[in-house]
Amino acid sequence: MVIFDNPATVPAPAEYIMDNITAILAAHSATLADVVNIRTYLTDMSRLPEYGKVRAACFTGTPPTITTVEVSRLFIPGALLEVEVLAIT
């Protein structure tokens, strides 16, 4: 687990999360192309464009369905976002 010291930045934790998701998928013989749904929880919806750029760079083909919601806080203190994906192989 990595806690990012700078709560002013979204791209670094978003890239870290996407790297972890890619590794988890690979461990199960899947790729980001197998992702059919992404659910993201943001603590500040105004940060969506920053996160969206990172997400768009990861999903270059037909994008999966996307649900993004704003929450007041996440389990890890100071976390800006949480991402879960559903992949079908």
Residues 1-22 pLDDT 10s? 445 556 668 898 999 999 999 9
pLDDT of residue 1: 43
pLDDT of residue 39: 97
The domain ranges of the chain are 30-87
Other CB atoms within 10 Å distance of the CB of residue 81: 21
Residue the block writes with tokens 């199960």: 28
Q: 30-87 belongs to which CATH class? A: alpha beta
- Over range 44-72, report the average pLDDT: 94
Can you give the pTM of this predicted structure? Answer: 0.88
Residue among 74, 73, 66 at smallest CA distance from 48:
66
Which of 77 and 35 is assigned the larger pLDDT?
35
Any idea what DSSP says for residue 54? H
The structure tokens listed for 80 are: 């800006």
Residue type for position 24: I
Read off the pLDDT of residues 68-87 as tens digits, 9 standing for 90 and up.
999 999 998 888 999 999 99
Residue among 4, 35, 43, 3 at smallest CA distance from 18:
35
